[in-house]
Amino acid sequence: MSYPETEKEFSIRATVDQVVVAADLLRPCIPASLEDNARYMIELGFVEALNNIVLHGYRDRPPGDIHIRCTRTGDELTLSISDDGERMPGDLLRRAGGEVFNFDPSDLAGLPEGGMGLSLLRAAFDQVSYQSMDGSNRLELRRRLPPR
Amino acid sequence: MNIVDITRHNEIAVLRPSVRRLDASNALAFKEAVVQRIAAGDRRLVLDLGGVEFIDSSGLGAIVGVLKNLAGSGSLVVCNVKGPVLNLFRLTRMDRVFTIVDGTDEAVARAAA
């Protein structure tokens, strides 16, 4: 049995206090049958993506709209996030691996306080792609869902 | 509204975030509130995350910032961490950085030690 197909679209203003609104709207799209950790990771990855757009993409410009489309087909969840803010620089997303977490736990000063968001985003999804064209950016996040 | 409620067990300050989500919208305010307490002399801290359902990288960074502010002089014990939040500590390897225990009593005892 596969997951029922769903599709949902919504928009938020690109401000930091709207991210929780988007998370609330996304939640019904995440299959309730997934275990808690998996549900949390999907929400976390999504929140990190939005934080990144809000805090960096719109840092030097008035907040625009961020458009979100969530589709669930077969055994895959796809989140598509579009905005018209500043594009994410070069290969930032590609370079965000798990290195930020390879810190020495005994070296207090060297512990990361930031720079973890994109790595968590990458960890939360199986496939992450980013396109920027004519002032519009589109981030697509895909996660395979376990067989039901 | 205070972002963090503080109760005192002798010299231990037990900090309970009053928000269900520690995220980019409040992480800085949370960190500043706790750092203020540290500056005022509270250096043995318990962070009770029992009411916190969600932490993002900003919230986690703020908790790391509190630990750095203690600069090795004092203690910070984390307790009552919900499963998926604990999973975040593990995924980011922060479980090797923080002392994380189950309940508040144990946390207070550890912070006093």
Output the pLDDT for position B72: 84
Tell me the mean pLDDT in the region A92-105.
90
Tell me the mean pLDDT in the region A32-40.
96
pLDDT more than 90, % of chain B:
95
Distance from the B28 Cα atom to the nearest Cα atom in chain A, whole angstroms: 11
* Dist. CA B10–CA A132, nearest whole Å: 56
Closest residue in A to B62 (Cα–Cα): A113
The minimal CB distance from B65 to the residues A16, A51, A113 is found for A113
Output the pLDDT for position B5: 97
Express each pLDDT in B81-105 by its tens digit. 999 999 999 999 999 999 999 999 9
Number of residues that this document lists for chain B: 113
Q: Does the beta carbon of A109 lie under 8 angstroms from any beta carbon of chain B?
A: yes
pLDDT interval class at A6 (50, 70, 90): confident
Closest residue in A to B21 (Cα–Cα): A20
Distance from the B13 Cα atom to the nearest Cα atom in chain A, whole angstroms: 22
Backbone φ and ψ for A56, nearest 5 degrees, come out as -110, -50
Q: Please, is B69 exposed, middle or buried when counting C-beta atoms within 10 Å of its C-beta (0-12, 13-18, 19+)? A: middle
- Is the pLDDT reported for residue A140 higher than 80? yes
Tell me the mean pLDDT in the region A60-82.
95
Q: From start to end of B2-95, where are the E strands?
A: 4-9, 12-17, 21-22, 44-48, 54-55, 75-79
pLDDT interval class at A93 (50, 70, 90): confident
Tell me the mean pLDDT in the region B44-72.
97
Distance from the B9 Cα atom to the nearest Cα atom in chain A, whole angstroms: 27
ipTM of the complex in this document: 0.95
Q: Does the beta carbon of A47 lie under 8 angstroms from any beta carbon of chain B?
A: yes
Express each pLDDT in B2-28 by its tens digit. 999 999 999 999 999 999 999 999 999
Output the pLDDT for position B94: 98
Output the pLDDT for position B43: 96
Output the pLDDT for position A1: 67
- Is the pLDDT reported for residue A85 higher than 70? yes
* Dist. CA A30–CA B54, nearest whole Å: 16
Contact A117 B92 (CB under 8 A): no
Closest residue in B to A110 (Cα–Cα): B68
